[in-house]
Structure 1
């Protein structure tokens, strides 16, 4: 199969009844629906060799720290010692990188770089910063600093999950980076409206008691209570991560996002950048990404907040994981890694 810009996708399309063409959601691969999968990977990532540290980030006369961790075929050699550029992973807002460390499974063939965005994880938390500090320009500057630190600005790939995909898309639209080889968008909404509609539909599938608890605390502004968090864990078990018990990395990231000492980075981002209500990439951002080799990983595309990416990007490959999970890298770990690895191999010599 060949994309509209001549981007060969032939090695990425799976045989069998799930392969189709773009005229009827074709070019989309649908994977079987798996329900709850027991967590079997507790020690898998921890056994891999990695390097970690902190990168100084100078901004406006201040210096902050970006925590990073990278895995690779040979972490003692050059980070660009293999043919394809490294994969830089961008996590969701208010989270840390930890819930995405399953992507270290790619390390035998690809250097994988994780980092914590400012305000999250082990990077500078910046408790004293007000909402005006938290802008997309800030996170783009931090990403550029990471690329510069590793010397990979001329040759790299991006994978963004949820808000991480938003950040990657904004970065591409604003910077048009010449060294970008490919983009992976995993469970990334194209607009606040589509995301909110999807979340509302998912919440309607929860038990009425849980729905009532969520509504009560949201109306009262008491979303930091244990009662509310318990109800949200029911939501996450159904739509966030279907692996039971929750993987330790997922639990840790949830603790980071729920940290009562946190400066409410997520709330500040929602307020200052309108990520919760007005943000929309469909009209301006996505058209500027048409030329980028892109892998879109999503649930059912017909019900997905990611669909505008599929229709708006020419060099597009889409794989559906129809289980209603926000983290298919856990529930469909082996298949997820195979899909990403094959895509990176296929685009290994591309430049936008």
Structure 2
């Protein structure tokens, strides 16, 4: 009996030793992976922790745009295109909670005119074609190519991402169109026929009256939109709970760029806005690279349209966020990032069935 107990004790010690050794090896491997992911040694932005200004050429001269790299991955590098137009990278800061642990490298980037980049006063610069050439110059400066380059555009950034892909998809490994439809006329129709009627009739009537008078600086306009539109379709949280990065982004919005391209209305794109007639729906089949479209049930954009887009794309996949709005990366966060990370890693591993 004593001999049997001795054997059991020895076996237990050996098993614990093996387990401890295995755990120690895994912990060391995890620590090494984390260290490698965050190691910027030899990188030109090492001194600044990954942040750098990139010089770009425009029809009106040279300007600088701000970027910041996070992480190291030889095959998964994501350039983030913010919304607005005229917004900032700040709304993407929640990506810090998800992409590093997936080993995905990503780049914050403020487009020309946005808060961290140069802000020239020449309004001729604020057009989609010039922004596409800007993205291409940023891509080259960051050494992104078809073997590693994923482009993610949110809202207006989704328009810019589609336009970039239609001209330069040979440089892309993957494309993500987040919370953006392929047609502004369709967006306006959805706002008029679906979102508008969800408001109390008297509220909608007053909003329309203010817009008809072009009285967009009237404080009453935002008093009506904040509880009846923004907290239902932009981000489904009480305003006092909106995350700090989002509030900073709104505070830093370049209104000149925004109004010229998007227009003064917060309820569709109206008036003389340059994006008013933008529509690339018929061109979606030309985008051959693996593409993910993301839509939220409560989005300002029609989630069914974004699902339809995925079906028009030869290598399309749709990510539906049932609790999400236009900022689904915040109000349906786990769904958003689980789907995003899966798409990037699937493409990286060569999975054909998206």
TM-score normalised to structure 2 length: 0.74
Q: Which moved more, 1:56-65 or 1:324-333?
A: 56-65
What's the CA shift for 1:299? 2.6
2:223 to 225, 230, 249: 230
| 1:110 match | 104
1:194 to 173, 178, 186: 186
Give yes or no for contact 2:321–2:335 (8 Å, CA) kept in 1: no
Mapped to 2, the partners of 1:122 and 1:188 lie a distance apart of 24
Mapped to 2, the partners of 1:256 and 1:198 lie a distance apart of 28
Give yes or no for contact 2:295–2:303 (8 Å, CA) kept in 1: no
**What is the root-mean-square deviation of aligned Cα atoms in Å?**
2.6
Give yes or no for contact 1:310–1:316 (8 Å, CA) kept in 2: yes
Higher relative contact order, structure no. (Cα contacts within 8 Å, ≥ 6 residues apart): 1
| 1:162 match | 155
Mapped to 2, the partners of 1:195 and 1:100 lie a distance apart of 23
Question: Which runs of 5 or more structure 2 residues have no equivalent in the other structure?
Answer: 1-47, 263-270
1:86 to 74, 77, 85: 77
What's the CA shift for 1:303? 5.1
TM-aligned CA distance change 1:149 to 1:163, over 3 Å: same
1:153 to 138, 141, 145: 145
SS of residue in 2 equivalent to 1:306: helix
The answer on 1:142 being equivalent to 2:150 is no
Mapped to 2, the partners of 1:69 and 1:207 lie a distance apart of 43
Please list, as runs of the form range in 1=range in 2, the aligned pairs for 1:1-352 lying within 5 A after superposition. Answer: 51-60=50-59, 62-72=61-71, 81-92=72-83, 93-104=85-96, 105-108=98-101, 109-127=103-121, 129-130=122-123, 132-154=124-146, 155-178=148-171, 180-200=172-192, 201-234=194-227, 235-244=229-238, 245-257=241-253, 262=255, 264-270=256-262, 274-276=274-276, 278-284=277-283, 286-289=284-287, 291-300=288-297, 304-323=304-323, 325-348=325-348
What's the CA shift for 1:229? 2.2
Question: Which runs of 5 or more structure 1 residues have no equivalent in the other structure?
Answer: 1-48, 73-80
Give yes or no for contact 2:181–2:302 (8 Å, CA) kept in 1: no
Structure having the higher helix fraction is: 2
Question: CA-to-partner distance for each residue in 1:224-255, whole Å, 9 max, x for gaps?
Answer: 23221232322111100113311111112222
TM-score normalised to structure 1 length: 0.74
TM-aligned CA distance change 1:324 to 1:110, over 3 Å: closer
Mapped to 2, the partners of 1:241 and 1:309 lie a distance apart of 23
What's the CA shift for 1:191? 0.2
Question: CA-to-partner distance for each residue in 1:14-67, whole Å, 9 max, x for gaps?
Answer: xxxxxxxxxxxxxxxxxxxxxxxxxxxxxxxxxxx9532322212236121211
What's the CA shift for 1:350? 5.6
Q: How many residues align?
A: 286
Give yes or no for contact 1:135–1:273 (8 Å, CA) kept in 2: no
| Higher Rg of the two aligned structures | 2
Mapped to 2, the partners of 1:208 and 1:228 lie a distance apart of 15
Mapped to 2, the partners of 1:295 and 1:272 lie a distance apart of 31
TM-aligned CA distance change 1:225 to 1:254, over 3 Å: farther
Give yes or no for contact 1:181–1:350 (8 Å, CA) kept in 2: no
SS of residue in 1 equivalent to 2:334: helix
